[in-house]
Amino acid sequence: MDKQELADQLIDAWNRGAVADILRLMHSEATYHDAFWGETCSGCDLVRYLDTELSWDLRWYERDGEVIDTPDGVIVCYSAFDSGNPKRRKLLYKGAEVISLADELITGISDFYCHADPVQLLEIATGIENRRKEANVARFGLSAKKSGFIKRRLAELADNTTIFLEPELNPRQLADRVGCTVAHLCHVLEEEKETTFGQFVNERRVNFAATLLAEVSGSDINTGQIASQSGFENVEDFDEAFQTSFGMSATAYSRHAAQQTDCPEPEEPANTS
């Protein structure tokens, strides 16, 4: 297979979302390098990375001009469109991929979201292996783009839904609502938010409970009812989670909130002018 045919097959497989076809073009130890985000992955992580990226990449790609030969492979310039329909599509950007080859298999792909001139691209290709080695590793195939998306979705769900108040909520259900895998959800929580699924959910629940406690006086608190409304299956778990988050019991928090509410507003200073 010549280099241009390989490039066309790669683009075609990406447009079809055919991860298996992409992998057939690649060496078993090949790496994928996203130059813009400065990350790379290989092996099992590469499979997960491609699965994730292709599942939500709705752009359409076409090769621009002839491929450019390099000592170690080929450079492919491309155009990215928002649709595969020639009559409706809009050009989004132009880019280039530096592809390293060995024995007619891809050993590395570096994607640059820019359309530099051939001389600049050849200069980039010269030191491409060092760039790949210096990039951050996308663990579990989780890209920086997807990680940011997961964190935004978690914030949106916390602000706009009551999903965290569902007593039987589990990681699979939350991942489905977020739009990611359980592995990626747990990785974001543990590695980037430094918490666990259970701790994260409990924090959302006790925050909701705090809003309820602020509305009642200490003598009127029904801890069991507050716990149930907040998604806890029993008072013991609620008490422990509340103490962990706020450093005080729910009753003490309610008394403190009542005292703050009962404090008179400070008087305006007298106008002495």
As given in the structure block, the two tokens for residue 99 are 């592809």
Rounded to whole angstroms, the Cα distance separating 175 from 154 reads 10
What is the reported pLDDT for 101?
Answer: 96
- Tens digit of each residue's pLDDT (9 = 90 or more) over 216-271: 755 678 899 999 999 999 999 999 999 999 999 998 888 887 776 554 444 555 55
Residue 217 pLDDT: 59
129-146 tens-digit pLDDT: 999 999 999 999 999 999
Q: What is the DSSP string of 138-207?
A: -GGG--HHHHHHHHHHHHHHHHH--GGG-TT--HHHHHHHHTS-HHHHHHIIIIIS---HHHHHHHHHHH
Query: Taking phi first (over 0 means left), then psi (-120 to 50 degrees means alpha), and beta for anything else, what does residue 221 get?
Result: beta
Return d(Cα 59, Cα 173) in angstroms, integer. 28
Query: Domain 3-141 falls in which CATH fold?
Result: Nuclear Transport Factor 2; Chain: A, (3.10.450)
Q: What parts of the chain have a pLDDT lower than 50? A: 263-266, 272-273
Could you give the CA distance from residue 15 to residue 84 in angstroms, rounded to a whole number?
9
> In CATH, what number does 144-261 get?
1.10.10.60
Give residue 82's pLDDT.
94
> What residues does CATH 1.10.10.60 cover in the chain?
144-261
Q: Is 76 exposed, middle or buried (CB count within 10 Å of its CB: 0-12, 13-18, 19+)?
A: buried
Range list for CATH 3.10.450.50 in the chain: 3-141
Residue 16: what pLDDT?
96
- pLDDT for 117 equals 87
